[in-house]
Amino acid sequence: MSSPIPALLELRLPESWQAAPPELVGVPDASFVAVHAHPDGGFTANVTVDSAYRPDTATLAEIGDESVADLSTVTESLDVTSRHEIGSAEAPGLTQTLALTTVVNGVRRELTQSQVYLSLLDIHAPDRRMVVRLILTATTAQHDDVLEDFRDIVATVRPK
């Protein structure tokens, strides 16, 4: 789904997070990356942000399915453990949580991803839709510890 953010966004990071260059942390297609200050077993929890202009009629659930299909090509196992629609008709969103096993830097990892999809509509042309995707990736052991920070980040996302 990634493409350069077609509109400027702003967000705020909690104290234990810092911005990092996407290409240096292995996600060059991301528009923004933040990393947590305390790695777990050699894996650093991270938040990535990307977006795409989506003039098609795909629902957020279908876009979430696309992400699952893409991710399944680079994982040993992948399960969608939860999915919920959020927001309103004017500002719809979707959350999904994925449990996955993959190899990162030669080490097999049990990871959890929390993904949030936000649909931003142009108020002057509602058929122009941008979908912003925020993803928290953490070890399964650390996920619950950093999830509230991720929720705080998502709550601050605003168009500039």
Chain segment 12-63, per-residue pLDDT in tens: 999 999 999 998 778 888 989 999 999 999 999 999 999 888 888 899 999 9
- Say yes or no to pLDDT of 121 above 80: no
Q: Collapse the DSSP code of 11 into the 3-class scheme (helix H, G, I; strand E, B; otherwise coil) and give the result.
A: coil
Indicate whether 5 pLDDT > 70.
no
Average pLDDT (96-103) is 97
Tell which residue, 112, 115, 44, 1, has the closest CA to residue 34.
44
What one-character DSSP code corresponds to residue 13? -
Within 10 A of 111 (CB to CB), how many other CB atoms are there? 21
Q: Please count the other Cβ atoms lying within 10 Å of the Cβ belonging to residue 110.
A: 15
pLDDT given at position 126: 66
**pLDDT category, 7, cuts 50, 70, 90?**
low
* Local confidence band at 2 (pLDDT 50, 70, 90 cut-offs): very low
Cβ atoms of 159 and 9 closer than 8 Å: yes
Angle at 30 between CA 101 and CA 49, to 5 degrees: 85
Q: Please check the confidence at residue 123 and state whether its pLDDT lies above 60.
A: yes
Instruction: Give the model's pLDDT for residue 117.
Output: 96
Q: Which residues contact 62 (CB under 8 A, 6 or more apart)?
A: none
Residue 38 corresponds to which tokens in the numbers above?
């305390």
Q: For residue 150, what pLDDT is reported?
A: 98
At 129, the pLDDT band (50, 70, 90 cuts) reads confident
Residue 154, SS3 per DSSP: helix
Q: What is the pLDDT of residues 62-94, one digit of tens each?
A: 999 999 999 999 999 999 999 999 988 778 899
Cα–Cα distance, 65 to 69 (Å, whole number) = 6
pTM beyond 0.75: the answer is yes
Among residues 151, 87, 89, 73, the alpha carbon closest in space to that of 115 is found at 151
